[in-house]
Amino acid sequence: MAMYDPSAMYVDPVLSGFSVGWAGQELYGYRLMPETRTGAKSARYKVFDRSNRVIFPSRREPGTVANEIRGGKWSEDNFQTVQHSLQAAITDEERRNLVGPGGLADPDFGGDLDLDPEVDAVDLVMQSLMLEHELKVANLIRNAANYAGNHTVTLAGAAKWSDYTGGTASTSDPVANIRTAIQRIKLDTGRYPNTMLYTFDGVGIIEGHPRVVDRFKNFSLIEDDAWQKLTGLPTPGNIFVADSMYNAADNIDAAENQTSFWGQDVWIGLVDQTPGQRTFTFGKTFAMVQPDGTTKPSEKWREESRKSDLVRTTYEYDEKIVSAAAGYLIKNAFAAVT
């Protein structure tokens, strides 16, 4: 068993700063379920409902007291943050190979002076932590059971956008599906959605669909107002073409199995990046603030018996759907591109 002096373990502000500002491959978990910092491991929070649309009787006769109304009624749920933590070792041998004479960082041999084994180790740890967060968010969003019955549709056979049979009269109709999603959210929340996510392999399928081509021949989906032109409705301003992937083999020694987090699903919804608890948004990541004031502190210590320095990053969070009415899921929108 490795022995070390606990007093020698400390939160490294440089490494924590790297953890907080970490940027690897483009990920979308935070964009759909933004982080709300919390000082409590668990607490209750407000869930959107439509009680604020009640019209209370307001007529008042002379000499009478005005009708008194109840305060806004909200549903409630609770979050329970769970700690996620990984560590990595930097062996003395690795450090010598990197920064020693003739090592990869030796400027006399054209080495890279910016190489930092601690930062590299935290990068590896953070990558795994954030890929796990991305997967958790994707699993929540892509689960039709998390929506009201009229906020999901599963496409099959000729209804998939990749089936062009029939040309401009084809059964599949991405324009109609997207319009339905936008209208459903507007009807149930009073607001138009501001965010849409679909995967990279869906771009060519949608742009090449006969109904889309016939409707608008002279614009691309990457134009700012393309979707509004396409549907005729106020449409999401944040359009994410998701390309985030993970190795589903789950073993660095096995053959890679690069897998999309988002598959062939399309999501449309409301996202509010404001961190307050009463903001109106589809989902949130409640993140516990750690003693150093950050949500992803990185600690460093020495284990002499292993001749290694170790770094560890901790992220304590819970991802929750705040308002199922604020999102719409189109399952299996198109066939996978092979």
| pLDDT tens-place string over residues 238-262 | 888 998 888 888 777 888 888 899 9
Closest CA to 241 of 193, 204, 280, 212: 204
pLDDT, residue 258, reads 86
More confident residue, 54 or 178: 178
Evaluate if residue 7 carries a pLDDT over 50.
no
pLDDT, residue 48, reads 62
* Cα gap 54→101, rounded to integer Å: 75
Positive/negative CA dihedral, 17, 19, 20, 25: positive
* Cα gap 134→131, rounded to integer Å: 5
pLDDT, residue 50, reads 55
Q: Per-residue pLDDT tens for 280-294? A: 889 999 999 999 899
* Cα gap 283→36, rounded to integer Å: 10
pLDDT, residue 318, reads 95
pLDDT, residue 203, reads 86
Report the CATH fold assignment for 6-49+76-331: phage-related protein like fold (3.90.1690)
- For the chain, the domains span 6-49+76-331
Q: Per-residue pLDDT tens for 72-83? A: 555 677 889 999
More confident residue, 262 or 68: 262
Report the DSSP pairing between strands 308-321 and 298-303: antiparallel
pLDDT band at 97 (very low <50, low <70, confident <90, very high): confident
pLDDT, residue 109, reads 47
Q: Per-residue pLDDT tens for 28-56? A: 998 999 999 999 888 877 766 555 566 77
pLDDT band at 134 (very low <50, low <70, confident <90, very high): very high
Secondary structure (DSSP) of 122-153: HHHHHHHHHHHHHHHHHHHHT-GGGS-GGGEE
More confident residue, 20 or 107: 20
pLDDT, residue 66, reads 83
DSSP H or E segment with residue 187: helix 174-189
Tokens of 243: 């390309």
User: Looking up tokens 């978990």, which residue turns up?
Assistant: 29
pLDDT, residue 330, reads 97
CA distances from residue 132 to 40, 125, 161, 247 in whole angstroms, order as listed: 22, 11, 30, 11
Evaluate if residue 110 carries a pLDDT over 50.
no
Q: pTM for the complete prediction?
A: 0.82
Evaluate if residue 19 carries a pLDDT over 70.
no
Average pLDDT over residues 222-239: 69
Q: Per-residue pLDDT tens for 182-227? A: 999 999 888 899 899 999 888 889 888 998 888 776 666 666 677 6
pLDDT, residue 335, reads 92
